[in-house]
Structure 1
Amino acid sequence: MSDKRRILVIDDSAAIHQDFRRLLCPERGGSPEQLASLRTALFGAPPARARPAGPEFEVESAFQGQEGVARVREAVAAGRPYALVFLDYRMPPGGNGVETLRELWKVHPSQRVVLCSAYSDYSWEEIVEEFGETPLLKELRKPVNGHELRQLALTLTEP
C-alpha cells in the first residue's frame, strides 16, 4: 500500500494536468542512499541530521466532470478515496465545476475539494450560499501559484 497522498485533478486542459504533476510531483534527485553517498563524496561525513523529505503525492486525472465523479466513486468503492480533488469551474462542453461538486458530494460527502479557475459563472458567495461554509471546500485562482498550490495540497491532505 502506498503512503502517497492521492489527488484527483478534474480539468479539461491536458496542460493543467501536466502543471499540477510538475508542481506536486517534482522529480526526485535519486534515492536517499544515492544522495547520501554523493553528499559524503563531495563534503565528507554526512550531516548529523538529514532533512526529512516531504510527503509525496499521487496525482490522477479526469478531463470532464462525469469522468471525475466516476473516478471518485471507484476510489471510494475500492477503499482508496482521494485525499483531495482539484476541480475546474469550467469544462466545456461538459458540466461545470459546481454541477460536478454536487455530484461528487452525493458520492463522497466528506471529499475535500478545491475549486479552480480564472473565471467563474458563480461568485464565491453564491457557492458558499449553496454549499455552506465548510473546511471541505476551498478556492484557488488561475493562473496557479505553485507555492500556494503545494501548500493547499499539503494542508488539505494531512491525515
Structure 2
Amino acid sequence: MSTHPNPRRLLVIDDSEAIHTDFRRILTDEPLKSRGELDLMADALFGPEAAGSSVDKTVVEVDSAYQGEEGVARVREALAAGRPYALVFLDYRMPPGWNGAETLRHLRRVAPTLPVVLCSAYSDYSWAELQAEFGESRLLRQLRKPFNRQQVRELALGD
C-alpha cells in the first residue's frame, strides 16, 4: 500500500487478475510476485521502469474488485468511510456478472461525480452510445487494451 498520508485512491474493476497486476505495476511500489522474460528484457534494453518514471508511485493506492457488483460495494464502503476513490478503471466485459455499462449505471447512482475510465480491447457498446447514455463529460473516459503505460499514469494522476 501507500506510504503517503493522503494517497490518491483508485479502484480497478476487472475480472482478470493479470490486469490488476498490470495497474499495480504501473502505479505503485507494490512488489510483484514474478517478472516475466519480456519484462526482464525490457529492463535490460531500456533500464528499470522505476528509473524512468515521472510518477511518484507512493501517492497512489490501488484497490481491486473482480466483478461489477463488488466494485460498486467497494465504492459505497469507501464513501461511508470518508475515503472515496478518485478514479475507477472499469472493464467492459466481466462475465458472468454485470458488464461495464451496467456497472457504470450503478456507480452513477452511488457516486455521480466519480470519474470512470472504461477499459477494453473491444466493446459491446460504441463510444457514441455510451456518451449518449452517460453524457459527454470529463467523468467518463476510454482506454483501449493493451494500454499505454504513460496514458494510464496520466489518467490515474488526474488534473
TM-score (norm 1): 0.79
1:8 equivalent in structure 2: 11
1:32 equivalent in structure 2: none
Once the two structures are superposed, the pairs formed by residues 51-130 of structure 1 within 5 Å of their partners are 54=56, 56-130=59-133
> Alignment identity in percent?
65
> Which protein is bigger by CA-based radius of gyration?
1
- DSSP 3-state at the match of 1:111: coil
Runs of 5+ consecutive residues of structure 1 not aligned to the other structure = 29-51
1:138 equivalent in structure 2: 141
| 2-structure distance, mates of 1:60, 1:107 | 18
Deviation sequence 1:103-156 (CA, Å, 0-9, x none)? 00101111110000001100000000101111111000000111110011112x
How many residues are treated as equivalent by the alignment? 133
- DSSP 3-state at the match of 1:80: coil
Tell me by how many angstroms 1:3 deviates.
1.6
- DSSP 3-state at the match of 2:56: coil
Q: Pairwise CA RMSD of aligned residues?
A: 1.8
| 2-structure distance, mates of 1:2, 1:105 | 28
Amino acid at match of 1:67: E
Cα distance change on mapping 1:80 and 1:125 into 2, 3 Å: same
Cα distance change on mapping 1:27 and 1:9 into 2, 3 Å: closer
Tell me by how many angstroms 1:53 deviates.
7.1
4+ residue stretches of structure 1 with deviation over 4 A? none
Tell me by how many angstroms 1:54 deviates.
2.9
Deviation sequence 1:72-110 (CA, Å, 0-9, x none)? 000011111100000000001111000000000101111
Deviates more, 1:99-108 or 1:55-64: 55-64
| 1-structure distance, mates of 2:112, 2:150 | 28
- DSSP 3-state at the match of 1:120: coil
- DSSP 3-state at the match of 1:87: strand
- DSSP 3-state at the match of 2:12: strand
